[in-house]
Amino acid sequence: MTDPVEFDTVSPPDEPSREAALTRHERLTKPRGSLGRLERLGAWLAACQGQCPPRPLERARIVVFAGDHGVAARGVSAYPSEVTAQMVANFRAGGAAINVLAASVGAQVRVVDLAVDSDAADADAADAGDTAGSAYRVRRSSGSIDAEDALTDDETHAALAAGRAIADEEVDAGADLLVAGDMGIGNTTAAAVLVAALTGTEPVAVVGRGTGIDDATWMRKTAAIRDALRRAKPVTAEPVALLRTVAGADITAMAGFLAQAAVRRTPVVLDGVVSGAAALVAEELVPGARAWWVAGHRSPEPAHALVLEQLDLDPLLDMAMRLGEGTGATAAIPLLSMSVRVLAEMATFDEAGISGPTGP
Ligand SMILES: O=C(O)c1ccc[n+]([C@@H]2O[C@H](COP(=O)([O-])O)[C@@H](O)[C@H]2O)c1
Ligand SMILES: Cc1cc2nc[nH]c2cc1C
């Protein structure tokens, strides 16, 4: 059996740099506080970088964690499982929404197949040019979580180790901002179960429309979530066992990635309900990790609202986006870039010879 995966502890972002950024904002040529949340966002990035003004963001990386889910066979999605492999090919060809959004904001996309339900040989072929992609493949799909564990212990450790290694690779290659995206038919069922388990919520309050399911599918999905939640209950306080029971290799790797990004002091933009569910588990694995995350957007999935509340994160955008792939997070990247550049490039009152506020 493989060894359990250990994570170092998380240290908080640098408070003096945050303070310096907030103080600098008082001296920039604008009424005090007038850039609103953009000011706090820049201060957060200054704290993450440990310097004020912060460096411009130059290497934002989006990692799409792809995997299939056995529970899809219960009829819980509006699309068939084969779409996962087809979309992985689309990502690699550059034709998916995330490719276009990433190109628009100057970010790069990396796709990693953790458990796509296709032949490993296909994955190897598709991974040509991205050798790391197939190297991290843990298995094909996952157990149907309403009736069996998603993964074995060994697979859970392998997926966590994969996510940790991917974060290390990205940080070592100079990433200054990370996004965890997801692709996997059926993954909103697994995400909803994780969120319900970790927030003590009833199935009907976490079930969402996913890819756009009809009412009959909603009933099957709710039943699957109910059954999986019953299986998850005994391991709710054990994050690794919870991942083994109801997550799947893609979400498990994402949790490892989010945990390790925080350990490595690298800021992350969270996406929708799937990255949110992984983030809830990552915060259990390495408490304090949430200080390294910002919520890029609010997904209409009800479980996402629970994630945001539990992690005390206020999303930057509310665009009714429910695609996944990291698209909601990537749409928020321009705000992060602006927040940094404002601190670095705006003139101060002194420099511009502009009168400051009247009064004391
Ligand atoms: O990120 C979200 O909040 C989100 C909400 C709904 C659907 N998705 C995407 O849709 C797929 C899962 O939907 P489903 O209905 O098959 O569970 C998966 O590929 C996700 O990336 C993602
Ligand atoms: C086409 C398609 C693209 C996706 N991207 C993320 N989830 C998806 C689900 C479907 C069905």
pTM greater than 0.95:
yes
CA angle 255, 256, 258 (to 5 degrees): 65
Q: Is 61 in the pocket of ligand 1 (CB under 6 A)?
A: no
pLDDT at 298: 98
What are the chain's domains?
60-332 (3.40.50.10210)
List residues bridging with 169 in a β-sheet: none
Listed residue (204, 210, 163) closest to 186, CA to CA: 210
Residues with CB under 6 A from ligand 2: 79, 83, 87, 183, 211, 323-325
CA of 324 to the centre of ligand 2 (A): 8
Catalytic annotation present for 325: yes
Q: What is the structure's pLDDT at 169?
A: 98
Say what the pLDDT of residue 320 is.
98
Structure tokens at 342: 């404002």
How does pLDDT run across 142-181, given as a tens digit for each residue?
999 999 999 999 999 999 999 999 999 999 999 999 999 9
- The residue nearest atom 11 of ligand 2, judged by CA position, is 79
Q: Report the separation in Å between the CA atom of 10 and the middle of ligand 1, taken as the mean of its atom positions.
A: 29
**Which one of the ligands is nearest to 326 CA?**
1
Q: Whose CA is nearest to atom 11 of ligand 1?
A: 185
Quickly list H helices, the chain. 15-27, 37-49, 82-93, 97-105, 120-126, 131-135, 153-172, 187-199, 203-206, 215-232, 239-246, 249-263, 273-285, 302-311, 327-331, 333-345, 349-352
pLDDT in tens, 250-283: 999 999 999 999 999 999 999 999 999 999 999 9
Residues of the chain with pLDDT under 50: 124-125, 127-129, 131-133
pLDDT of the residue at 359: 77
* pLDDT at position 64: 98
d(CA 150, CA 71): 9
